[in-house]
Structure 1
Amino acid sequence: MAPKIEKVVDVPLDLGESPHWDAKTQSVYFVDINGHYINRFVPATRKYTRAYIGLNVSFIIPVEGQKDQFVISRGKQIALISWDGESDSVSILKTLYEVDEQYPENVFNDGKCDPSGRLWTGTIGAPPVDLDKIENGRGTLYSFQNGKATAHVTGLGISNGLAFNAALKKFYYIDSRKGTLDEYDIDITKGTISNGKPVFTLNKHGLEGFLDGMTIDADGNLWAAVPPSYKLIKIDPRRPETLLQTIEFPAQEVTAAVFGGPNLDELYVTTGRIPVPGLTFTPDDGATYRVTGLNVKGLPSVNVKL
């Protein structure tokens, strides 16, 4: 039976991204990067709420052990906020980090935590409003823990999707400008990566667009968004250049995905509406979707440990 794709949030986002499933509240948090909103959807009640941040916000991750506290990006800062998940505004508690002083226009993009709760996120050369105007080489992939920022990869184009496989000690990463999905060895205890190499190349499979956000399932396969091609693809990184499945969405710019639901067998997918020559948007573009019937489970999203 084919997977079922359901629109769960009709509100069209300028650039939906970075979905994070919170098991404690049984809700999915995500952002509208260009609209400057953080968002929450509760599947059990189908309630959707959002709060305005006022700056480029590229991820929202709950703080482990703290009620109503989250780490978000604000431009090229990382901040600790308080949000009840209901109101339309937040309290900024403090700025935790700021990077890339040499590049005033830089902003953070996709961010996730490794299994230890260490935050990983990278920068890009400008807010992702017009992708053609983002200068190559200005991005850096960082990790953050215990007040320390560590730079891992420099000279990036568009720092994007991240995923971790603790069992295999692998870290998967996307620089959208490269056209490849790359694999690194990772020492999660030390927070170091090494031996980067591509394991999937977009143009070898006749796929148009670029690689964006991604997630990993319990079998070790990766699910990566490919805007503006309407597609989310499933690949096996242990077998280089292996495309396992392609899912077609009503929305052109599929941006990211995360497994959620009580059994982690529902895939929540964000989409966007970044202007691209030749694209005409419909109400399906920018909506948020749920995919069921995949017969696979995901790994739990990891909250940030401060």
Structure 2
Amino acid sequence: MKSGLKAFYTHFFVLVFFVVVALAYFNPVLQGKVIAQSDIRQYTGMAKEQNNFRKKTGEEPYWTNSAFGGMPTYQLGAYYPHDYVKKLDRLIRFLPRPADYLFIYFLGFYILLCCLKVDFRLAVLGALAFGFSTYLIIILGVGHNAKAHALAYMPMLLAGIVLTFRGKYIMGFVLTAIAMALEVGANHYQMTYYFMLLVLILGVVYLVYAIRTKKLKNFFASVGLLVIAVVLGIAANTTSLMATKEYADWSTRGKSELTINPDGSKKANTQGLSKDYITQYSYGIVESLNLFVPRLFGGSNSEDLGENSKTYDFLIDQGISR
């Protein structure tokens, strides 16, 4: 009983510490200030009509004329009835934005390390290292909130999977189901897809271990429970998923009615977006080294280079305007 209470108080004070750190790092939010996020600024303009309509009538429009000449609001913050996943998510993200995302960075990774039986003091340090990793902070600056949201819940989901494979079936099942619901509810399916690739590799590792230790029965029991947990997590987001699927079929991601290009040539692809279009903003393979060597392939496309550099002199010599 005493050990249980001690663990409870330990985790409670750790969470309080995470709250303090998140608010201290983003302390302007305590003054009512809002971070200037370029993507969110655009979103605010597109979502203004639906937000005004909701505020005035108390009803959900599910359509706006403020984006691309008119489109569904399914991906612009639409509210759905009985969306309990969103209610749980808002309960967890109770801090003002973007301190809320930093908090769930800490929370998710702390849970993962605790499930891996790491000492809580090291788990706190690990959570801080994860939360303050460069990329996770950068995406908050530009407004990639959905990506940050999805990345934050990944460690929690991984913790549930690891617990299940380690024989903690009930705790692992519950944590996986809840974390999967939150992960899908974060609404960045691309990140979730990449995470599932990682889980497949982890599953192969556990399968090899099960074969070597002759514990295939336990392995398949874990897989069965995880499949059920994942299905439940996805099912909790059925409304938003079905709405998004309906919209996607009519968007540029669906089949196109156009069979020719503007120049009259035949379109090579009418089944959705081309690979070049999808990947044009992605890192190349070598560019991924930027994660280890900052600015290896240059910096931002909008940063001030300054006037006291050979690069600046060269560009001016080439006729680039000041």
Q: TM-score, normalised by structure 1?
A: 0.24
Q: TM-score, normalised by structure 2?
A: 0.23
Q: Highest CA radius of gyration, 1 or 2? A: 2
Please identify which structure carries the higher strand content.
1
Q: Say which structure, 1 or 2, has more relative contact order (CA 8 Å, 6+ apart).
A: 1
Please identify which structure carries the higher helix content.
2
